[in-house]
Structure formats: C-alpha cells, structure tokens
C-alpha cells in the first residue's frame, strides 16, 4: 500500500460511542442538553472519539412506552431534553423555578415525574417570554412552517379533544377540512404559539450543543425510524401516504416476522406507506425528512433498511406478526432520488435481521455501509459469518451491540450458550473472565477491518444486563438507564484513548 493510500485509510478509520441523551447525567431526572451533555462531548474528545451516536430525538410518550421509535412527530424535538440550567441562564426561568422539582433517581429515568416537571417549567418559561416580537423566534416559525404548523395544531387539538386519537376526532377535523382547520387555528392560537415556542427552545439548545461537538471534532450520528406512529401529526397531515381506511384507521400494520428477538415476530402497529403515492409525489415527504435530519446530525442511521426494499405487512386486527407478507418497495428509484440530493457518505443502513439478496444488492448499488454486531459473530461458521472481525469489509460500522441487545457482559453471563462462550475464548486465544469480557469486545471492535467502530457506553463501562437499554417485543422498563458522572473516570478515558490510538482510529 502506498503512503498516500495508507494515509487515506487512516483518515477513514474512526471510533465513537453510542449513548442516548436520556442516559446523560443531570440533576433534573433525565439527560438533557445542559452541562452533562457538554462534559460528555469533552470525554469523547479526550478519548479521541470521532463520533457520538444517539437515538431519535423526537417526542416520546409514557403511553407509548417512552420509546424514541414511537413519536407524535417525525420532525419535532423532545422537549423533555431541554435543560433547566440553560433556561435559567437565558432568563426564561428563575433559579427557584428550576430547583422546585421532586426527588429524582440518578441512575434511571422516571418518565412520568420528569414529564410533569418539564411541562410545568416550560409553561413558566413561555409565560415569561410572552408574545414579544422576537425576530429569531419568528424566523424559526417561518423556516419550519412545513412541519411545525401541523405539529403544533395537532398537539393543541389533542389537548382540546382530551387526548383521543386524531382518527376519532370530529370528521371535519379528522379529514382536515380547510374551514374547520382555520377556525381551530384561531381558537387555539395561544396553545399553538406555546408549542411553537417549546420547539424553538429545543432547536436552539440542540444546535448550540451540535456546534460544540463540531468545535471538538466530534460528529453526531442520528437515527431515522423508518415508520411513524399512526396517532401522529405526520399521518394526520399526510393521510394519502399511508394505507388507511376511510376513517383514518390503519388497514395494515408494520412489523417483522419471527426472528432472533421473538418467536412470534414483532408487531409494531405503525401504518405502512403507500409507496405508489410517495413515488407520485417524487418522495417529497421523505426528502423533507432527510433534509431536516441532516441539519440536526452529521450522519444518519436509517433504521430497518430492509423495509425500504420489502416490508412486512400484517393485516389490521392481528395480535402477532406471524400472519404477514412481504411487499416490495421501489428501492432503486427511491434512493436514486435521495442520493441525488444528499451524500451517500452521510447514510448508514441498519441491515440487521432477515437480510436477503435483494437487500444486499440495494446496499451495494448505493454503497451504504451496513452494521456488524460482534454479539452475532460467534456461531459455528467462522469462515462465513459476516459479523466476525476478520470477515468484515472496510465500508461498514462495527458495534459490540446496539440499544436492542444485552450488554456484552450480560450476554456472556446470561444469554450465550457454553459453545458460544468457548468460541469467543478460542477466538481471543485465552481464557477471559466475564468481568473482563466487555473490554475484549471493545478491543475486537477497534481492531476490526470496519472503517468505523461504535461501542455502547455500557460496554466501555463493563456493565451487566441490568444496564441494557431496551428489550425488543416487551413493554415497560425500557429506555430508562442512566450514567452518573463518576462513571466517566480518567481511567476509562485514558484506556479508551489508548486502544483508539493503537488501532489507528484517531
């Protein structure tokens, strides 16, 4: 390899950490865009990490299990991430307002209590802001009107109709009759203005944090869920893009067939797209979504990539995902439009699960890097297993696991079969205690052929099953895990930096 080629490959190699905003340390019950986030970016920079990967930033709800993959909007930001400290700094809250909160646990999120607290202080901030003629606020509302107008009206209507789903609203509002919408916008003007203000605060705080990341040489990898929730502003505003009946109820639901995670598959319940309608509109809604997210993030992980090739469609009324069928998508036409507008270098394809030749062909056609999980690497076919480090290609992202997996330590202790553990130890070439196994996987990821290595912070901290983020196909007790500041010790920083430098990923 020439010196120039070697330097080019060194520049391509990088490493990062997967940690969602909710998991950051904070005094206010949940990770936010305040001091804990900035200190975490400092940790990444000191450890020579190039990437910070997060989960979707869209609004969550306790009735939807607090999942970042179930949201009332594909565009809005989750206002529980707003930092009370920054609101005090900006004169929108008093110190007393911010500090008058209940006692929060410091190692997990109590979403119900946090949401009540954040809603209360945000309303106080809006009262202090009032209806002043703020040019930045007015510009934000104008620049984001394409999604913000419908989103804020949607939330105001939801509140007015006592939280019922939009497809159970009065027919003239459900069906978006112009006269009815105009009347409701006038009637709910104050509530709409308040929601616009909350979103203005979200994007202002987030953009400041993103600028700080850029200054520290850290790129943010965001996440686009393929589907949107039926009871969302997006489906209500774009009903023709989804397979709905005449009353706005889903005719079919999205999910995946039986797989590694569940013997009955996963029935997500989201409405599926009318891809012919999307194509007729030249994929305008998806283009808007990509553009919006690539303003928020440097790179986006496209969740459930195989659903852009063919998706699993389950008839409404089914209670499991077993009785579904695969439906083809115009994948080549779609991604030609996407990559004409946006760089393929900004896209990672989440290609886990049931991957077929047509999915591989689509990824090869557009050159999207896929994901390789080390937790899936140690089956009885090391010569052909695509996840094992020596079989990886440069154009991929290697992970120890994701938010949907157990931690490495938890997997090794609780899920791995004896033969799996033996294959891991044989690959490592020595016996390793479960107390040390996570860091062995961290090293394997950094040494792998893949250009990019991303490690969940739980594995860098060598934490067990109790620290996993999500258990797919379960409801409750997910998305709650948090770190405390002392976990990011100088020893952890130095150790991560050393292996990153040794493996040429700085």
List alpha helices for 13-163, DSSP H.
Answer: 35-46, 84-89, 95-99, 111-129, 135-143, 145-160
What is the Cβ-side half-sphere exposure of residue 302, based on CA atoms within 13 angstroms? 21
**Environment class of 443 (CB within 10 Å of its CB; exposed 0-12, middle 13-18, buried 19+):** middle
Options 90, 313, 404, 501, the catalytic residue:
404
The reply to whether 172 belongs to the active site is no
- For residues 287 and 146, what is the distance between their CA atoms, to the nearest angstrom? 12
Residue 294: name the closest of 404, 195, 210 by CA. Answer: 210
In 10 A of CB 80, how many CB atoms?
A: 24
The reply to whether 150 belongs to the active site is no
From residue 499, alpha-carbon distances to 22, 35, 44 in Å are: 27, 27, 13
Residue 284: name the closest of 163, 461, 146, 384 by CA. Answer: 146
In 10 A of CB 219, how many CB atoms?
A: 18
Options 85, 195, 350, 351, the catalytic residue:
350
- For residues 47 and 11, what is the distance between their CA atoms, to the nearest angstrom? 17
Options 303, 351, 440, 459, the catalytic residue:
303
The reply to whether 223 belongs to the active site is no
- Looking at the DSSP bridge assignments, the partners of residue 301 are 223, 348
List alpha helices for 354-436, DSSP H.
Answer: 357-366, 408-410, 418-428
- For residues 90 and 64, what is the distance between their CA atoms, to the nearest angstrom? 32
- For residues 181 and 187, what is the distance between their CA atoms, to the nearest angstrom? 10
Active site residues: 303, 350, 404
């Amino acid at each position: 390899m020439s010196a120039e080629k070697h330097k080019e490959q060194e520049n391509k190699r990088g490493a990062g950490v997967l940690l969602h905003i909710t998991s950051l340390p904070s005094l206010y019950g949940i990770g936010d865009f305040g001091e804990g986030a900035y200190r975490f970016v400092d940790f990444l920079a000191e450890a020579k990490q190039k990437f910070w990967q997060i989960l979707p930033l869209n609004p969550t709800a306790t009735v939807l299990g607090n999942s970042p993959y179930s949201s009332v909007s594909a565009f809005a930001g989750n206002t529980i991430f707003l930092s009370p400290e920054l609101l005090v700094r900006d004169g929108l809250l008093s110190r007393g307002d911010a500090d008058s909160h209940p006692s929060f646990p410091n190692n997990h999120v109590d979403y119900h209590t946090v949401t009540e607290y954040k809603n209360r202080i945000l309303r106080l901030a809006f009262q202090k802001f009032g209806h002043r003629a703020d040019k930045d606020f007015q510009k934000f509302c104008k620049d984001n009107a394409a999604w913000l107008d419908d989103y804020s009206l949607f939330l105001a209507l939801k509140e007015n109709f006592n939280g019922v789903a939009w497809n159970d609203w009065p027919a003239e509002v459900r069906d978006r009759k112009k006269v009815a919408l105009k009347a409701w916008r006038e009637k709910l003007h104050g509530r709409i203005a308040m929601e616009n203000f909350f979103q203005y605060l979200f994007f202002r705080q987030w953009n400041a944090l993103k600028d700080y990341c850029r200054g520290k040489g850290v790129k943010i990898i965001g996440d686009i869920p393929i589907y949107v929730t039926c009871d969302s502003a997006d489906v209500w505003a774009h009903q023709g893009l989804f397979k709905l009946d005449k009353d706005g109820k889903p005719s079919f639901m999205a999910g995946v067939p039986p797989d590694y995670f569940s013997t009955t598959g996963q029935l997500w319940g989201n409405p599926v797209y009318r891809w012919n309608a999307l194509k007729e509109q030249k994929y305008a809604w998806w283009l808007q979504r990509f553009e919006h997210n690539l303003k928020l993030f440097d790179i986006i992980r496209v969740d459930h990539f195989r659903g852009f090739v063919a998706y699993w469609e389950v008839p409404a009324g089914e209670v499991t995902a077993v009785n579904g069928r695969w439906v083809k998508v115009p994948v080549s036409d779609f991604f030609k439009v996407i990559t004409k507008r946006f760089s393929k270098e900004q896209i990672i394809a989440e290609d886990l699960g049931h991957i077929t030749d047509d999915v591989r062909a689509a990824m090869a056609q557009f050159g999207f890097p896929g994901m390789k999980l080390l937790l899936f690497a140690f089956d009885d076919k090391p010569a052909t297993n695509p996840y094992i480090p020596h079989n990886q290609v440069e154009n991929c992202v290697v992970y120890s696991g994701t938010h949907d997996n157990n931690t490495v330590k938890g997997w090794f202790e609780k899920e791995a079969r004896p033969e799996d553990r033996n294959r891991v130890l044989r690959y490592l070439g020595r016996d390793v205690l479960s107390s040390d196994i996570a860091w062995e996987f961290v090293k394997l990821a950094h040494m792998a052929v893949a250009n990019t290595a991303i490690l969940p912070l739980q594995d860098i901290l060598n934490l067990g099953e109790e620290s996993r983020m999500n258990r797919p196909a379960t409801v409750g007790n997910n998305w709650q895990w948090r770190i405390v500041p002392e976990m990011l010790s100088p020893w952890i920083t130095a150790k991560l930096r050393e292996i990153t430098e040794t493996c040429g990923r700085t």
